[in-house]
Structure 1
């Protein structure tokens, strides 16, 4: 059995094998998943595993690209679709936003990297945000405020922490919450609709279809499951006995969301009215460029929510674009 890819190859070897030759490494699904888990330790829940590299540094991006360039020795079609999806995501500007706001990176890497190394990473984050700003790539207000809270509550003694906090204090976030306002944002969102919802139609056509679903499921929906920002809300709606199918994407907690939802259609049926509403709001935020206020109004017109529930639902949709559409194929069935 092959050893762990990140142990077998040094960074230089990976770059040579995958970047300097046309030959691709063939790996099993489990090998690739294990390697991606290790690479993304800083972006996952705290564990005892070592931190290979810090998120979105040049070393991280090179290793990720090398892994995603692998040929997958796996018969499952959805595993290949997920790998293709992750390759497509490399085209878009997330690398300029190296600290995903909903991830407690500082807590995840605490006591696993030196203070000096962590200080350098915080300085790197500031540099990348400045580079992003020059390309019209900016955090939204929700992301900016969440990062500031994490920095304020941290006890890291590094000048770069104070510098980043000062920079964010004077930072001008983009006006809207969704992908719509980022360069190639609509195309980025479409790629997510394609993967999570198996949707080839334009978002405009999807909106028209949602209006039909809404007519069929017009009863008011009560929120029984409190949303958070740790996983896509569609997964929170699934009961514990619904099997979570292993995935390759750290953003989804290494769960293949479409495959998982496809096996839990009874749960989807129970939440139809809620899911249709969330799909419409997801499109509003990420495709139509809704403000937070517009999202609030749309949610409250269909759901009985308190302010905290509405805020957390919106945050979940912002951080996990299009994942709610994993239920969409179920709605198309007769």
Structure 2
């Protein structure tokens, strides 16, 4: 009897141990590494390429979303500092919003990144699957009035045409890319380029303002605060060097000389932008630039400014060319709210 009881107890302990899932990530750094691995096609590392990407690494696929959610949930159970907690909360909140309906983030040439992996030429199945998933998701999103804006659509079209013109893409895969190109040609973008043009877009934008600024103010309250600071600063020359692409945001580029503080968001190049911005020694020229960016940010994403309106506003505040204004406006469209990382240095 006792032997049976002992065996039963051991069996219960074994089952209990099996049912308790071990936490796969024990630190903020472990979780960051996991996110970087998951986002291989979004922020391609300089390290040696792997043979092929996995199903989990197909951007915004169901497997990707499940894996990312698991990482976020692990982070919420860790002991983190206040800045890290703010990052995690921001990313968890973002899961509620429409981002997942746009499989191809327009600031990144995901197709080029996927093609760069060794083995993609001989095993393009994942790329074909992802292109079909992207088209199906965009079609599904239309039913909820979720559409790409014209800047996003133009960028995606440029990436696809580049792949079609490449001699390195095998013909069988190129036919699938052409089919997706035809789909984009017939795609009708939404009228507004800002987040407010999307269902729940205003709430999504508010969450970005809250995180990057570290304050909770409505866009209209921010307009008042910005105007009080803008009126005391003169128009300044713009002397920053701009990239030819948007795969790294202007804010990431602007803070490139500052001490790195690790982050979790691929759109911030895995940097904690608010923390890094708070450490920057800002000149009046820096402040004027960022105030102009913030003013245009709210104009685009809350007041539904058009592209020309936003460009005119930046050129009114800064001594910049049409091309520079175009780049900065596109960057604001693709990376909403990031400029508010500097607000604590100004108000």
Q: TM-score range by the shorter chain?
A: 0.7 to 0.9
Q: How many residue pairs get matched? A: 310
Structure 2 distance, partners of 1:322, 1:215, is 21
Cα RMSD of the aligned pairs, angstroms, is: 1.9
Q: Deviations over 1:173-232 (max 9, x none)?
A: 111211110011110000000100112011101000111001121x11111113342333
C-alpha separation between the residues in 1 aligned to 2:49 and 2:87? 25
Larger Rg: 2
Report matched runs for 1:48-127 at 5 Å.
Answer: 48-50=48-50, 51-52=53-54, 53-70=57-74, 71-112=76-117, 113=120, 114-127=123-136
> What does 1:3-22 align with in structure 2 at a 5 Å threshold?
none
**Structure 1: distance between partners of 2:310 and 2:20:** 48
Q: Distance in 2 between matches of 1:96 and 1:83?
A: 21
Matched, 1:165 2:181: yes
Measured after TM superposition, the shift of residue 160 of structure 1 is: 2.4
The offset of 1:75, in angstroms, is 3.8
Tell me which stretches of 4 or more aligned residues in structure 1 moved more than 4 Å: 20-26
Residue number in structure 2 paired with 1:17: none
Contact 1:232 1:324 in 2 (8 A): no
**Equivalent position of 1:5 in the other structure:** none
Give the structure 2 partner of residue 45 of structure 1.
44
1:235 equivalenced with 2:252 (yes/no): yes
| d(CA) in 1 for partners of 2:237, 2:116 | 42
Match for 1:314 among 329, 334, 342? 329
> In 1, distance between residues paired with 2:67 and 2:256?
35
Separation in 1, partners of 2:20, 2:333: 39
1:46 and 1:108 in contact (8 A); partners too: no
Tell me the equivalent position of 2:311: 296
Q: Aligned partners of 2:78, 2:182: CA distance in 1, in Å?
A: 48
Q: 1:49 to 1:31 in 2, by over 3 A?
A: farther
For 2:256 and 2:72, locate their aligned partners in 1 and report how far apart those are by CA, in whole Å. 31
Cα distance in 1 for partners of 2:139, 2:44 equals: 28
Aligned CA distance change for structure 1 residues 238 and 63 (closer, same or farther; 3 Å): closer
Structure 2 runs not aligned, ≥5 long = 1-18
Q: Distance in 1 between matches of 2:28 and 2:49?
A: 20
1:239 shift after superposition? 5.8
Task: Choose from 177, 184, 187 the match for 2:193.
Answer: 177
| Range moving further from structure 2, 74-83 or 273-282 | 74-83
* Paired residues for 1:235-314 under 5 Å: 235-238=252-255, 240=257, 242-264=258-280, 266-267=281-282, 269-314=284-329
**Partners of 2:236 and 2:285 within 8 A in 1:** no
Alpha-carbon distance in 1 for matches of 2:289, 2:86: 27
Alignment match of 1:132 (pick from 132, 141, 144) = 141
